């Protein structure tokens, strides 16, 4: 049996690094090409067994080079971060549309067998996310369109690009809408980190400094679901291998408030912190959760790693990174 050549666009990123590791362990895969715009020293994970390349996939020529000979393409490449980054960098987020457009063009030319696009729950209509007591979002709730400005619009448009490349050119495309992925080997400082990593870092900093307070964006009542990275990778592989032709939720259905997430991380550290609520900070929608009816129906599976188990592993990794970073600076 001929082994497959696989391209991971955004292979130097958080999810891309974990996906590349899983693909390298798959006996069906013979070669993994990882491409990212960041210098190799800035990649979250660099796997020796992969063909690691630095290139700007907003450029069509770079996409053609990356797709040459590929059987499968996983597009995880995007300029993005947590809510603070998304709300303040809408144009940069929108420019990621060039990556998906050019990758689709190059993948079609290269006669790629399957193409996966990583979309986001930010595509969902904002009117359905105005309450903390959220009704889980179903796939059809993306329309009528009112996504997150900038980042959400780019993801929704790119979903449509995948659909029309399938309809017009017969390409096999798969689209998953990620709901707040977290875990080790991700961004935990610098402004692009998401809530789970930011809260872990803030609690660790409070313990290390002896200043037992924490700044929380918003009033802490915002509700979310968070999916551990191992569930995300499992879901990506299952969706890619499936017959699912429509965009589908990939997220945990375990709903939690930001305050409850802080409670959990405080319990790991054995502290109780004074909370300072920053009501003028970016906080996103009031509530968001994943309706997993369709993914269960298609796959007989859904993300199931509990938040407490995933956050425990994430906290331990960030704590180790924090102390290593402090030691280097001293």
Structure tokens at 117: 């696009």
* 277 assigned to active site: no
Count CB atoms within 10 A of the CB of residue 141.
18
CA atoms of 84 and 190, how far apart (whole Å):
11
- Rg over alpha carbons for the chain, rounded to the nearest Å, is 19
Element (H or E) spanning 178, and its range? strand 173-178
> Reduced to 3 states, what is the DSSP secondary structure of residue 285?
coil
CA atoms of 303 and 217, how far apart (whole Å):
27
Which candidate in 124, 151, 182, 228 is catalytic? Answer: 151
Q: Are the beta carbons of 246 and 94 closer than 8 angstroms?
A: no
Active site residues per annotation = 151
């Amino acid at each position: 049996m001929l082994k497959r050549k696989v391209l991971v666009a955004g292979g130097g990123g958080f999810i891309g690094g974990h996906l590349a590791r899983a693909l390298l362990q798959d006996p069906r895969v013979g070669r993994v090409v990882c491409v990212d715009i960041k210098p190799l020293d800035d990649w979250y994970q660099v796997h020796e067994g992969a063909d690691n390349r630095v290139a700007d996939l907003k450029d069509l020529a770079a996409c053609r080079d990356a797709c040459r000979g590929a059987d499968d393409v996983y597009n995880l490449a995007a300029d993005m971060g947590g809510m603070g980054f998304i709300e303040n960098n809408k144009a940069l987020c929108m420019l990621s549309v060039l990556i998906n457009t050019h990758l689709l063009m190059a993948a079609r030319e290269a006669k790629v067998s399957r193409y996966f696009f990583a979309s986001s729950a930010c595509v969902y209509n904002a009117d359905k996310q105005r309450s903390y007591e959220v009704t889980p979002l179903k796939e059809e709730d993306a329309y009528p369109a009112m996504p997150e400005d900038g980042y959400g619009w780019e993801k929704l448009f790119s979903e449509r690009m995948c659909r029309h490349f399938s309809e017009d050119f017969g390409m096999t495309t798969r689209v998953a809408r990620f709901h707040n992925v977290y875990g080790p080997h991700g961004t935990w400082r610098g402004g692009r980190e998401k809530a789970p990593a930011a809260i872990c870092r803030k609690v660790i900093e409070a313990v290390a400094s002896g200043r037992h307070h924490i700044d929380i964006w918003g009033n802490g009542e915002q509700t979310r679901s968070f999916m551990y990275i191992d569930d995300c990778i499992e879901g990506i592989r299952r969706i890619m291998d499936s017959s699912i032709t429509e965009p589908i939720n990939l997220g945990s259905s375990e709903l939690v408030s930001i305050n409850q997430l802080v409670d959990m991380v405080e319990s790991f550290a054995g502290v109780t912190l004074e909370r300072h609520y920053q009501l003028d900070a970016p906080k996103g929608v009031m509530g968001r959760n994943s309706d997993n009816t369709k993914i269960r129906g298609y796959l007989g599976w859904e993300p199931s790693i509990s938040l407490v188990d995933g956050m425990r592993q994430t906290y331990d990794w960030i704590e180790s990174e924090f102390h290593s970073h402090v030691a280097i600076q001293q």
